[in-house]
């Protein structure tokens, strides 16, 4: 009983961290300046990673928690490299770690846990 509650709490926290981090990454990619072709491609890549982080957060909360955690962790690592350890990238990476930890705590007989 407590284990289920703890896993659900980790899912909610992972979702919220990925949502906030992905939204902040997307916002910073859209408002940052620079009109060179490299800058535009880099900002587009950051925006796609931010959207991917939001989708991974939804997966952490509703679907396959481990897969969402892995996606969020990979997006977080790429964002940490691109943004030079900015806070939103740290939030996305932390959401991925929380998703992976929550998936390892979750019992094996849960396929898709109910909200």
Position 109 pLDDT exceeds 60 = no
Domain limits of the chain? Answer: 2-105
Nearest partner of 29 among 48, 47, 55, judged by Cα: 47
Q: What is the pLDDT of residue 107?
A: 64
The predicted model gives 51-60 an average pLDDT of 95
DSSP state of 113: -
Q: What is the pLDDT of residue 110?
A: 54
The predicted model gives 92-115 an average pLDDT of 78
Which band of pLDDT confidence, cut at 50, 70 and 90, is reported for residue 10? very high
Calpha distance 20→95 (Å, rounded): 10
The predicted model gives 1-18 an average pLDDT of 89
The predicted model gives 28-46 an average pLDDT of 90
The predicted model gives 21-32 an average pLDDT of 92
Which band of pLDDT confidence, cut at 50, 70 and 90, is reported for residue 91? very high
Q: What is the pLDDT of residue 105?
A: 84
Position 97 pLDDT exceeds 60 = yes
- What's the per-residue H, E or C state across the chain? CHHHHHHHHHHHHHHHHHHHHHHHHHHHHHHCCCCCHHHHHHHHHHHHHHHHHHHHHHHHHHCCHHHHHHHHHHHHHHHHHHHCCCHHHHHHHHHHHHHHHHHHHCCCCCCCCCC
């Amino acid at each position: 009983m407590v284990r289920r509650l703890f896993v659900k709490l980790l899912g909610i926290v992972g979702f919220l961290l990925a949502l906030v981090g992905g939204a902040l990454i997307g916002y910073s990619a859209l408002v940052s300046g620079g009109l060179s072709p490299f800058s535009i491609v880099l900002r587009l890549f950051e925006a796609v990673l931010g959207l991917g982080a939001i989708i991974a957060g939804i997966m952490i909360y509703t679907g396959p928690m481990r897969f969402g955690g892995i996606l969020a962790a990979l997006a977080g690592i790429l964002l940490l490299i691109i943004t030079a350890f900015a806070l939103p990238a740290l939030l996305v990476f932390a959401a991925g770690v929380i998703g992976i930890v929550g998936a390892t705590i979750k019992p094996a007989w849960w396929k898709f846990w109910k909200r």
